[in-house]
Amino acid sequence: MPTYKDLKAKADELLRQAERARKSEIASVVKAIREKMDDFGITLADLRGAAPKKRRKATGKKRKVAPKYRDPASGQTWSGRGKEPRWLVAYLKKGKKKEDFKI
């Protein structure tokens, strides 16, 4: 029965052989890739793909949105965007509908 040292030495030798085989295969694959790149005129930039488009920065100016709802008591308005205003929430709790406050 082989000893631990014998098995360890065999394992180490197999790892060295595997690394040599890997390096050899990598060299042949790289050579084949370079040949294909030359045949088709492919560059590294082609492999990377197009550069990502830069996003435009917001100008900081927001367009005003016309109001859609009006509080009959105070005259306050709401565009219908964002969180509902307190005056509308209060009316809705009383059983009114949003449509009742449309402008």
Would you state the pLDDT for residue 51?
67
Is it the case that residue 11 has pLDDT exceeding 70?
Answer: yes
User: Could you read off the pLDDT of 47-86 as tens digits, one per residue?
Assistant: 887 666 777 777 777 788 899 999 988 989 999 888 999 9
* C-alpha 44, offset from chain centre: 24
Instruction: Give DSSP secondary structure letters for the chain.
Output: ---HHHHHHHHHHHHHHHHHHHHHHHHHHHHHHHHHHHHHT--HHHHH-SPPPPPPPP-S--------EE-TTT--EE-S-SSPPHHHHHHHHTT--GGGGB-
**CATH code of the domain containing 90:** 4.10.430
User: Could you read off the pLDDT of 26-46 as tens digits, one per residue?
Assistant: 999 999 999 999 999 998 888
Same domain, 43 and 74: no
56 belongs to a structural domain? no
26 belongs to a structural domain? yes
The structure's pTM equals 0.41
Q: What range defines the domain where residue 94 resides?
A: 69-101
Tally of domains within the chain:
2
